[in-house]
Amino acid sequence: MRILILGGTIEARALAEALGPRADFAVTVSLAGRTAEPLPQAAPVRRGGFGGAEGLALYLAAEKIDVLIDATHPYAAAISANAARAAASAGVKLIALRRPSWRKVAGDDWIEVENVEAAVAALGPAPKRVFLGLGRNELQPFAAAPQHFYLIRSVDPVDPPLAVPHAAYIVARGPFSASEDRELLQRHAIAAIVAKNSGGEATYGKIEAARALRLPVIMLKRPALPEVASVATVDEVLAAIGHALTLSTARGV
């Protein structure tokens, strides 16, 4: 069975680890190429876009892919939309792994906004010390609010740096614990956090730290994703793959 995993997430890496070494699967992991030095994967890696849904459909046909797993980040809406369209047009089974959102709990002070520009507006005019837990490609709109101090943590260096007078940069790859994030926020006297609702454990530390320190979190709402059959965990994907393999074996494919 030939499988293409659209990756870039912890879950995609775990799937490659589970499926990559098996003789009955030929697995390829597709990475967007956003990270300069991605973590090693337990299956061959393809980097970069496909050229939209049409490009992906052509790739699925040319590589004779049987199952497409969309295990991308919940904010990678373009690739998820492309995956749904391409799988439908190429007649390939699609399994979408949708990591559940974080839910607000008692003590959380979240201001939910539609996009990065709205997050900038939500910071208000008075200078604040702000932690930005966003990807380095999403920072540009904050240049419109240079009165704030920004603490920016990203996997790769922000180059060129954000065009603001007060910013500090941390290059680090998660997971980050609540205690280390709490210490970081206190050390920089942070008053507000901007975050995506990524879900999962790896970046939840800052949300727990914000709760403990009673800091507001300006939370970017998740983008709309195509309505396709989806599962929430790596184990459920593996079960769905096992089911598809049983069916194809029974059909003698």
Single out the segment in contact with ligand NAP by CB under 6 A; choices: 28-36, 59-67, 142-150, 163-171. Answer: 28-36
Going by C-alpha positions, the residue among 28, 23, 60, 24 that lies closest to residue 42 is 28
Return the residues of window 175-234 that contact ligand NAP according to CB under 6 A: 196
> Are 156 and 35 spatial neighbours (Cβ–Cβ below 8 Å)?
yes
Q: Is 58 in the site for ligand NAP (CB under 6 A)?
A: no
- Rule CB under 6 A: say whether 6 interacts with ligand NAP: yes
Pick from 21, 44, 51, 175 the residue near ligand NAP by CB under 6 A. 51
Nearer of residues 133 and 208 to ligand NAP, judged by Cβ: 133
- Print burial letters for 48-62: b (CB count within 10 Å at least 16), e (below 16): eebeebeebbebbee
Residue of 208, 180, 186, 179 lying closest to 195 (CA atoms): 208
Task: Give residue 20's identity as a one-letter amino acid code.
Answer: G
Q: Is 77 in the site for ligand NAP (CB under 6 A)?
A: yes
121 in contact with ligand NAP (CB under 6 A)? no
Shortest separation between residue 75's beta carbon and ligand NAP, angstroms: 4
Residue closer to ligand NAP by CB (options 30, 41) is: 30
CB 24 within 8 A of CB 10: no
Q: Closest by alpha carbon to 171, among 5, 42, 35? A: 35
Given the rule CB under 6 A, which of 4-12, 177-185, 208-216, 225-233 is the region that contacts ligand NAP? 4-12
Cα gap 218→195, rounded to integer Å: 6
- Contact present, 189 and 172 (Cβ < 8 Å): no
Measured CA to CA, the distance from residue 187 to residue 177 in angstroms comes to 15
Q: For residues 134-153, which are near ligand NAP according to CB under 6 A?
A: 135, 138
Residues 79-98 that bind ligand NAP (CB under 6 A): 79, 82
**Closest separation in Å from C-beta 11 to ligand NAP:** 11
- 48 vs 252 by CB, closer to ligand NAP: 48
Contact 111, 219 (CB under 8 A): yes
CA distance 5 to 246: 20
Single residue of 44, 49, 157, 242 touching ligand NAP by CB under 6 A: 49
Our CB check for ligand NAP shows the closer of 41 and 72 to be 72
**Shortest distance, position 32 Cβ to ligand NAP, whole Å:** 3
Tell me which residues touch ligand NAP (CB under 6 A).
6-8, 30-32, 34, 49-52, 55-56, 72-73, 75-79, 82, 135, 138, 196
